[in-house]
Amino acid sequence: MERAYRYRFYPTDAQAAELSRTFGCVRKVYNMTLAARSEAWARQERLHYNATSAMLTAWKKTEELAYLGEVSSVPLQQALRHLQTAFTNFFSKRAKYPRFKSRKKSRKSAEYTTSAFRYRDGRLTLAKMNEPLAIVWSRPLPEGAEPSTVTVSQDSAGRWFVSLLCADPDITPLPATDAAVGIDVGLDHLLTLSTGEKITNPRHERRDRVRLAKAQRALARKATGDGANRVKARRRVARIHARISDRRRDHLHKPSTRLVCENQTLVIEDLTVRNMVRNRSLARAISDAAWAELRSMLEYKAAWYGREVIVVDRFFPSSKLCSACGSLQTQMPLNVRSWTCDCGAVHDRDVNAAKNLLVAGLAVSVCGAGVRPQRSTPGGQSAVKQKPSQREP
């Protein structure tokens, strides 16, 4: 099983300049190739990776784009492969049509394969560089690990990261168990389990809301453009956002790992977070809870350790259904946190929902009905036959 290990590093001025040029060239090649493929598709022509690779070679020979040859060629070729994957996902209906990369908003990154870096004795040196990167090894790589891919990135807060993809022999299926748990997500409590346990919601964004608002007001007062003062103010806002997201991610990792290790089957609800954040009263709190990120963690960790994640249909009335007698309530407003059924059972709203999710998940795992299809993996294949107008260019 391959696993990515992400570390922070501090480049020298020369390394930072080289990486910044590489980021710009990667973005340029990606955008030019996307434009070429879109124009070719409008002419009823097809361009695949081999054709775009030949186009990249021709671009480097022109006077206008000769600077593309000054950086490592591997990240540029990887950009073409990423675009090919984006089109494949689009025509398989797993993603939207690829979009152009923005200099200010898009993620700055470059991917190096084994031919473009050297890793020896814990020292990583990239192509076109004479010195190894000053990496902060916050945790060791697996013993004897040899990275197959290295991805260098810079976030909006100005921090530099390097991600090393290598085989991890420690990721093996855990011993099977009969334990199963239903998981209901919420805002008052981040997670409520069918066992009655409730995991608190730290509300990381609320804790830094005053600092964030102050930094955003200072940014709004700066003149628009790329002035030094505006760049500094924008960087302050980005650092606060990075602090919030780092703490949120750390908090989500802990319960997700524990739940996957302790239970063979995990049942969650399929929530349309994209539609839920349209509620202006709850949008900030829902975004801060990061339910989609939590689901992603549960799914990939379950795949690592041989567990099963069952996703129950979003229209299943888990909160309105009595987990004792099975009767269905007609209404259940959000402000009702506990209620009493006609059978005399007193329910905590969230615990009752988690219990119902567990029962529904175990039922569909046996009969195979009543559950939405699992999200396709990037490498999966669609079983839907494409129409002639939907085929890949």
User: Is position 184 annotated as part of the catalytic site?
Assistant: yes
Q: Parallel, antiparallel, or unpaired for β 135-136 and 2-9? A: antiparallel
Query: Position of tokens 């598709």?
Result: 41
Exposed / middle / buried, residue 336 (Cβ in 10 Å: 0-12, 13-18, 19+)? exposed
The total number of residues written for the chain in this structure: 393
Residue type, 14: A
| Cα–Cα distance measured from residue 319 to residue 189, given in angstroms and rounded to the nearest whole number | 15
Selecting among 18, 111, 299, 350, the annotated active-site residue is 350
Q: Are 381 and 89 in contact (CB under 8 A)?
A: no
Nearest to 100 by CA among 38, 55, 21: 38
Nearest to 19 by CA among 101, 67, 103, 75: 75
| Cα–Cα distance measured from residue 22 to residue 35, given in angstroms and rounded to the nearest whole number | 20
| Cα–Cα distance measured from residue 80 to residue 378, given in angstroms and rounded to the nearest whole number | 17
Residue type, 50: N
Q: DSSP H helical segments within the chain, as ranges? A: 13-42, 49-60, 73-91, 204-207, 209-220, 228-262, 273-276, 283-289, 291-305, 349-367
| Cα–Cα distance measured from residue 293 to residue 107, given in angstroms and rounded to the nearest whole number | 18
Selecting among 18, 269, 288, 299, the annotated active-site residue is 269
User: Is position 350 annotated as part of the catalytic site?
Assistant: yes
Selecting among 111, 184, 288, 299, the annotated active-site residue is 184
Residue type, 392: E
Active site residues: 184, 269, 350
